A and B are shown apart, each in its own frame.
Chain A
Amino acid sequence: MKPARFRYLRAASVNDALQALAENPDAQILAGGQSLIAMMNLRLVKPACLIDINRISNIGYIDEDGDGVAIGALARHNDVKHSPLIRERCPLLTEAYESIAHHTVRNRGTLGGNLCHADPSSETPAVMVATGATLMLQSLRGQREVGAEDFFLGTYETARRQDEMLTEIRLPGRRTDGWAFAEISNRHGDFAIAVIATTLRIEDGRCEAARVVASGVGEHAARLEPAEEALIGGPIDDARLDAAAAAAAGAVDPHSDSHADAAYRRDAIAALTRRTVRRAAARCD
């Protein structure tokens, strides 16, 4: 379990990193290393070159951004998890962090690395899609913004181009939305068997907007539109909960692996949809 040979470059600035990315088409960025190094040790990936961004200063910030939050590329999981600003403005993410990895892993791992890694069972992509986050990608060619829904393309596959670095994650403010996150994993802190992240807006007892986002049951986190449609247009009552749960289960086409079979994942999605919607409805202002 030792990695194949690679070159190591240490970037002193974002520009440095972008330069190195442009010059080394076979390079990968090293952030917390909690996913990348394990894959290298298993020789599942053999990057010829690593660009270490850990010494770049001032990119681990978690700042106000209008009524939302801007998170720098090197913000560690634990910083995000414990940030009062995020708890206030994006409590869905704080809640999701109760299920993400373990303390030591979160000390090193970064939210940015987590999103770029795009594990199909990861929790954070579901939160990004549910909240409508925006990802800032930068290269020597310039900067572009990609909405979370367009960022995750497949298993370990994102819209990020080889020469781009994810420099910032922008979370919109919460306004009056209710939220809830729930996951099932075999053990606490494991990657998920199934995740649902839900946001709701209820006005005058009527559900006006809903996002029901699943992870762990497809190639990437995705909205379950039939479930959302089942919720919108009336009160969140038992009939709507049942309809949404059934629609959610019907909207996914999960896989089987050693952690759970497809039938289980479908059952789990139904149960989690019901539970998150109920909780989110109770949290609408």
Chain B
Amino acid sequence: MTERGHIPESRQREKPRADLQWIGKSMKRVEDPRLLVGKGIYADDINEPEMAHAAVLRSPHAHARIVSIDVSKAQELPGVLCAMTGADAAKVCDPLPTWASPPVLQAVIADDRVRHVGEAVAAVAAVDRYIAEDACDLIEVEYEPLPPVVDPEEALTSTGDAVLHPERGDTNIGLERKLTFGPVEEDFAAADLVIERRIRWPRSGGQPLETVGAVASFDDGAGRFTIQCNTSMYNYCGWMIASTLRVAPHKLNIVPTLAGGSFGSKMFVHKVPVLAAVLARAVGRPVKFMEDRIDNTTSCDNHASDRVYYAKLALKRDGTLLSLKTRIIDDYGAYLQFGVGQHGNALSQCVGPYRINSVEVDLAAVLTNKCQQGAYRGFGSEVANFVIERLVDAAADELGIDRIALRRQNFIQPDQFPYLIPTGNMYDSGNYQAVLDETLKLADLEGWRAKQAEARKEGRYIGIGVATCQERSVFSATEFWMWNLEPGVEWTSSPDGVSVKIDPTGKAFVTLHSPFWGNSPETVAAQVLAEQLTIDPADIEITYSDTDQGLNSTGPGGSRFTVMVTGAIVGAAGKIREKLLRIAAHLMEADVRDLTLQDGAVHVKGVLDMKMSIAELADKAHYYRLSMPEDLDLTSGLDATYVYDHPVTTLPDPDERHMGIFYPIMGHSCHIPVVEVDVETGQVHFLHYAAVHDCGTMVNPMTLEGHIRGGTVNGIGTALFEEFSYDEAGQLTTALWTDYLIPTIKESPADIVVGHVETPSPFTEYGVKGGGEGGRMGGPPAIAAAIEDALKPLGVTIDSLPLPPSKLRALIRDAQARAA
């Protein structure tokens, strides 16, 4: 036990090995055939008999009191089954689930006051969506506008009418506290140099093609809801939806549908399923509510971090990094669904890959008249990456040290792992030098430096950026509440389970207890089970449980899934293997210790042809009880369930000297983009892009590379284009995809050259690490650095994103004016 906590023993059973048959292979995705031919059933594909369709009337105001609302004309429109106000909804349902403590009350339909443009003001169920929308047009609402709170720094001092949630006090500060880890003041006093920057990270969000949708029904006889929905976390905390609906948890079954993309946005959706369920009970028919794009962009759970940082990095003149202080104002919008979990998350790797002795984080989470924050690839840690990388670049420039050399000098060294950072989180393993070296090779740095020099002579501006970023994976539940001042939900478990069954013919069935949300859960499960049981992945069928059948499972998110489901399958397969061996030992009259599972059969070691296939053994296990030993615990069948706990979590220190281990499976990446900036127009073109990731043992290099490339394009979006932009009145000016600019293939590099380093985790099965978010974690700081490098002759500094042509041109224009 040290100031930074203690490191528990590893519970790893399967060591990383070179002789694996399926893990590590670029196997084609099991999900693809049915999805690519259009046979996947998504929420909007579901049609129930008598099903009604919902539409929502949304607030045109950022902040207003609802003086009166009249739905009578809507009610009278032929085809309308129900028009529901916030007051009506409040009679039958409680506030939505929240991790904030004290809670921030959020109603499924706003009752007395609206807090952001797009908040639900009324909902209609009708025989079709057209009529439901016609009816919304007929609802009359009188609003009394209240002052809109849009600027996060102004929100710090709001009082009176500008306060969104007066019941929490006369302030828009949702939570404010300063956490100090290690001797920050001493380290700053010892510093030769302090780099100070104000850094602005823009509000963007995951943009799945498919919005959030649910089909809900209520069985009057059983008093029971069924909700089919493209959400996750239903087997973790789906019962919270039941509480909101005021039924006992066993009176709600949540059935997952395929999700047409998530990027985090469907982590735990609550508004849409609750709305569909409340309406379904009111009209006595199944109700479908499918968000349209505006429903989604204005009122989803997937607006992401929106932060102002006042950051200070203390260092020695020789380049030794000492300490990091940040004052953060995070614009959470109107509600706090996951509390300030995004800042729990950010504490996991806020010092980057560097030895930094101490950290201070002073956070103000402010409430403003914008859509609430939720989850998006990075969940707050990507911002910390951007900040530390910008500071390190600035420090190198200030000291006249090469940006790459300064990084190398401060890297945590391979022999220092497992390593506890000042906040208490553990970095399980890593080899940052190796990742950097590999990227430099793929990027041809020397070649580009030469081309850059040539281009400068022609008046062209080419730049090269280097970012070395952490890529934490496998969150544990403590990140959601570690910042809270008052105890609320203080969970310490975040497991994932699977059920595995071998049928009498030897075919394998895996039930996952978390959903498909655009990743490759079936492919991972098939590969790992095939490895474990030495069977063909084609003999494995994968299905998804609902909450009725579900085992405790946290679900994908925080790059957990591959690590967690691998752990669960190793656990379940172990039980099955043990039973197979036991039966085989009996039937072949051999000692269990002499048996081995190989090529889908149990063999007697060293005896040629003494073997029984899994199919033969499964047949015996199912139908020949009387051929088995008498043991009471040897029951018929061949199945197992296993709930795999988070591989390594420790509690936050009661005195908050550290926050425990909560995000320990630490990947790493290096991104090197080469860009050309057109200084007259501010346009940025990618000339090259290299990215190397270390995600431990790779399960499937092909799907991992998909994550890396896709995530990198998300990062390009954040760096250059995407912003949920609210004007002074609190109007979302980028609610449509014509204005919210998602990069397309034309704005992306012609190729993103991907490389790998594999430093296995000593804590997870086979040494696997998560890799779902890294592209977006490494892209923005690397791209910012590349642009800054291109514009070095002009003296442009990048500390705010995004940088569409107009914003970059403004920086260039200012720099040119300063120079003139």
**What are 19 of the A-B contact pairs (CB < 8 Å)?**
A1-B294, A2-B133, A4-B137, A42-B294, A184-B681, A184-B683, A186-B741, A186-B805, A187-B744, A187-B747, A257-B733, A258-B725, A258-B733, A260-B804, A261-B810, A263-B813, A264-B805, A264-B806, A268-B805
CB pair B739–A267 under 8 Å, yes or no, is no
Known: A2-B129, A43-B137, A264-B682. A188 touches B746 (CB 8 A): yes
Chain A residue at minimum C-beta to C-beta distance from B55: A2
Q: Please tell me if B721 contacts chain A, counting CB pairs below 8 Å.
A: yes
Q: Which of A5, A188, A191, A258 is within 8 Å of B134, CB to CB? A: A5
Smallest CB-CB A-B distances: 6 pairs: A188-B746, A260-B806, A264-B806, A1-B292, A271-B680, A258-B733
Q: Please tell me if B707 contacts chain A, counting CB pairs below 8 Å.
A: no
Q: Please tell me if A26 contacts chain B, counting CB pairs below 8 Å.
A: no
Chain A residue at minimum C-beta to C-beta distance from B812: A267
CB pair A4–B134 under 8 Å, yes or no, is yes
Chain B positions within 8 Å of A, measured between CB atoms, are 55, 129-130, 133-134, 137, 292-294, 680-683, 721, 725, 733-734, 736, 738-739, 741, 743-744, 746-747, 804-806, 809-810, 813
Residue with the highest number of chain B CB atoms closer than 10 Å, among A184, A257, A270: A184
Chain A residue at minimum C-beta to C-beta distance from B679: A271
CB pair B725–A187 under 8 Å, yes or no, is no
CA distance A259 to B739 in the complex (A): 7
Q: Please tell me if A221 contacts chain B, counting CB pairs below 8 Å.
A: no
Q: Which of B55, B137, B806 is within 8 Å of A193, CB to CB? A: B806
CA distance A5 to B733 in the complex (A): 27
Chain B residue at minimum C-beta to C-beta distance from A268: B681
Chain A residue at minimum C-beta to C-beta distance from B294: A1
The 0/1 profile, CB within 8 Å of B marked 1, for residues 170-212 of chain A is: 0000000000000010111111010000000000000000000
CB pair B130–A5 under 8 Å, yes or no, is yes
Chain A residue at minimum C-beta to C-beta distance from B678: A271
CB pair A264–B744 under 8 Å, yes or no, is no
CA distance A187 to B806 in the complex (A): 12
Query: Given contacts A4-B137, A187-B746, A190-B738, could you give 16 more A-B pairs where the C-beta distance is less than 8 Å?
Result: A1-B133, A2-B55, A2-B130, A3-B130, A42-B294, A186-B721, A186-B805, A188-B747, A258-B725, A259-B739, A259-B804, A260-B804, A263-B813, A264-B682, A264-B805, A267-B813
Chain A residue at minimum C-beta to C-beta distance from B746: A188
Chain B residue at minimum C-beta to C-beta distance from A191: B738
Chain A residue at minimum C-beta to C-beta distance from B293: A1
CA distance A186 to B746 in the complex (A): 11
CA distance A195 to B320 in the complex (A): 51
Tell me how many residue pairs across A and B have CB atoms closer than 8 Å: 71
Chain A positions within 8 Å of B, measured between CB atoms, are 1-5, 42-43, 184, 186-191, 193, 257-261, 263-264, 267-268, 270-271
- With a cutoff of 8 Å between Cβ atoms, the chain A residues found around residue B293 in the complex are 1
Chain B residue at minimum C-beta to C-beta distance from A257: B733
Instruction: Give, as a whole number of angstroms, the nearest-CB distance from B5 to chain A.
Output: 46
Instruction: Give, as a whole number of angstroms, the nearest-CB distance from B716 to chain A.
Output: 11
- With a cutoff of 8 Å between Cβ atoms, the chain A residues found around residue B294 in the complex are 1, 42
CB pair B810–A189 under 8 Å, yes or no, is no
CA distance A184 to B682 in the complex (A): 10
Instruction: Give, as a whole number of angstroms, the nearest-CB distance from A189 to chain B.
Output: 7
CB pair A261–B806 under 8 Å, yes or no, is yes
Known: A5-B134, A258-B734, A271-B680. A264 touches B725 (CB 8 A): no
CB pair B733–A187 under 8 Å, yes or no, is no
CB pair B130–A267 under 8 Å, yes or no, is no
CA distance A264 to B803 in the complex (A): 13
- With a cutoff of 8 Å between Cβ atoms, the chain A residues found around residue B739 in the complex are 258-259
- With a cutoff of 8 Å between Cβ atoms, the chain A residues found around residue B130 in the complex are 2-3, 5
Chain B residue at minimum C-beta to C-beta distance from A272: B681
Instruction: Give, as a whole number of angstroms, the nearest-CB distance from A134 to chain B.
Output: 31
- With a cutoff of 8 Å between Cβ atoms, the chain B residues found around residue A268 in the complex are 681, 805, 809
Q: Which of A4, A184, A188 is within 8 Å of B805, CB to CB? A: A184
- With a cutoff of 8 Å between Cβ atoms, the chain B residues found around residue A2 in the complex are 55, 129-130, 133
- With a cutoff of 8 Å between Cβ atoms, the chain A residues found around residue B741 in the complex are 186-187, 190
- With a cutoff of 8 Å between Cβ atoms, the chain B residues found around residue A184 in the complex are 681, 683, 805
CB pair A189–B744 under 8 Å, yes or no, is yes
CB pair B292–A260 under 8 Å, yes or no, is no
CA distance A132 to B682 in the complex (A): 32
CA distance A190 to B50 in the complex (A): 41
CA distance A5 to B806 in the complex (A): 40
- With a cutoff of 8 Å between Cβ atoms, the chain B residues found around residue A270 in the complex are 680
CB pair A267–B738 under 8 Å, yes or no, is no
Instruction: Give, as a whole number of angstroms, the nearest-CB distance from B156 to chain A.
Output: 26
CA distance A190 to B741 in the complex (A): 10
CB pair A267–B746 under 8 Å, yes or no, is no
Chain A residue at minimum C-beta to C-beta distance from B682: A264
Instruction: Give, as a whole number of angstroms, the nearest-CB distance from B590 to chain A.
Output: 64
CA distance A268 to B133 in the complex (A): 41
- With a cutoff of 8 Å between Cβ atoms, the chain B residues found around residue A189 in the complex are 744, 746
CA distance A257 to B810 in the complex (A): 15
Chain A residue at minimum C-beta to C-beta distance from B295: A1
CB pair B292–A259 under 8 Å, yes or no, is no
CB pair A267–B733 under 8 Å, yes or no, is no
CA distance A186 to B738 in the complex (A): 10
Instruction: Give, as a whole number of angstroms, the nearest-CB distance from B325 to chain A.
Output: 34
CA distance A43 to B138 in the complex (A): 13
Instruction: Give, as a whole number of angstroms, the nearest-CB distance from A34 to chain B.
Output: 12
- With a cutoff of 8 Å between Cβ atoms, the chain B residues found around residue A3 in the complex are 130
- With a cutoff of 8 Å between Cβ atoms, the chain B residues found around residue A1 in the complex are 133, 292-294
Chain A residue at minimum C-beta to C-beta distance from B683: A184
CA distance A267 to B746 in the complex (A): 23
CA distance A1 to B294 in the complex (A): 8
CA distance A43 to B129 in the complex (A): 14
- With a cutoff of 8 Å between Cβ atoms, the chain B residues found around residue A188 in the complex are 744, 746-747
Instruction: Give, as a whole number of angstroms, the nearest-CB distance from B729 to chain A.
Output: 14
CA distance A1 to B293 in the complex (A): 8
Instruction: Give, as a whole number of angstroms, the nearest-CB distance from B740 to chain A.
Output: 9
CB pair B292–A267 under 8 Å, yes or no, is no
CB pair A193–B734 under 8 Å, yes or no, is no
CB pair B747–A267 under 8 Å, yes or no, is no
Instruction: Give, as a whole number of angstroms, the nearest-CB distance from A191 to chain B.
Output: 7
- With a cutoff of 8 Å between Cβ atoms, the chain B residues found around residue A190 in the complex are 738, 741
Chain A residue at minimum C-beta to C-beta distance from B132: A2
Chain A residue at minimum C-beta to C-beta distance from B53: A2
CA distance A267 to B811 in the complex (A): 13
- With a cutoff of 8 Å between Cβ atoms, the chain A residues found around residue B681 in the complex are 184, 267-268, 271
CA distance A194 to B590 in the complex (A): 81
CA distance A263 to B813 in the complex (A): 10
Chain B residue at minimum C-beta to C-beta distance from A267: B809
CA distance A260 to B747 in the complex (A): 17
Residue with the highest number of chain B CB atoms closer than 10 Å, among A4, A191, A264: A264
CA distance A42 to B721 in the complex (A): 24
Residue with the highest number of chain A CB atoms closer than 10 Å, among B683, B725, B747, B805: B805
CA distance A129 to B129 in the complex (A): 43
Instruction: Give, as a whole number of angstroms, the nearest-CB distance from A117 to chain B.
Output: 14
CA distance A188 to B137 in the complex (A): 36
- With a cutoff of 8 Å between Cβ atoms, the chain B residues found around residue A271 in the complex are 680-681
CA distance A271 to B678 in the complex (A): 10
CA distance A186 to B808 in the complex (A): 12
- With a cutoff of 8 Å between Cβ atoms, the chain B residues found around residue A263 in the complex are 810, 813
Known: A1-B294, A186-B741. A193 touches B746 (CB 8 A): no
CA distance A259 to B137 in the complex (A): 30
Instruction: Give, as a whole number of angstroms, the nearest-CB distance from B675 to chain A.
Output: 16
CA distance A43 to B294 in the complex (A): 12
CA distance A193 to B809 in the complex (A): 13
CA distance A184 to B746 in the complex (A): 14
Instruction: Give, as a whole number of angstroms, the nearest-CB distance from B739 to chain A.
Output: 5
CA distance A85 to B241 in the complex (A): 63
CA distance A43 to B55 in the complex (A): 14
Chain A residue at minimum C-beta to C-beta distance from B743: A187
Instruction: Give, as a whole number of angstroms, the nearest-CB distance from B280 to chain A.
Output: 20
CA distance A260 to B683 in the complex (A): 12
- With a cutoff of 8 Å between Cβ atoms, the chain A residues found around residue B137 in the complex are 4, 43
CA distance A66 to B197 in the complex (A): 66
